[in-house]
């Protein structure tokens, strides 16, 4: 079961990493305004998701990849908080995302951290 869940977990990051490149402008809107270079941050986090998601599937690399994913989840948390704080009003950042899902995403980060820790 743990191996099947590893594939599912890695797939989440691989799909998200691809989305960072396919929908860069949408992700840029999530970057808090106090952070510089939103495009570079989105592309770097997308690349990190792709690399770390793939490395999680390589047995010799899965432990460091899991630690890297934990660091990445912590690093992108400000963008999730920014999205939640700005979701109370119609947001140009994510107009299709309801405030409920914006706020629900925050505790999901904790679950993802725990899931990554399981492989660390």
Domain around 57? 2-119
Distance separating alpha carbons of residues 69 and 111, to the nearest angstrom: 12
* Total structural domains within the chain: 1
Q: How many CA atoms lie within 13 A of 6 on its CB side?
A: 19
pTM flag (> 0.85): yes
- pLDDT for 71 beyond 90: yes
Q: How many CA atoms lie within 13 A of 40 on its CB side?
A: 3
pLDDT tens, position by position, 8-51: 999 999 999 999 999 998 888 888 889 999 999 999 999 999 99
């Amino acid at each position: 079961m743990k191996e099947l869940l590893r594939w599912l977990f890695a797939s989440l990051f691989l799909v998200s990493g691809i989305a960072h490149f396919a929908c860069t402008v949408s992700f840029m809107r999530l970057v808090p305004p106090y952070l510089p270079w939103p495009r570079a941050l989105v592309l770097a986090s997308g690349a990190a998701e792709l690399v770390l998601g793939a490395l999680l599937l390589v047995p010799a690399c899965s432990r460091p990849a899991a630690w890297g994913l934990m660091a990445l989840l912590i690093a992108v948390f400000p963008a999730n908080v920014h999205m939640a704080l700005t979701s109370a009003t119609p947001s140009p950042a994510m107009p299709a995302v309801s405030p409920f899902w914006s706020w629900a995403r925050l505790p999901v980060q904790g679950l993802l951290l725990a899931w990554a820790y399981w492989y660390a």
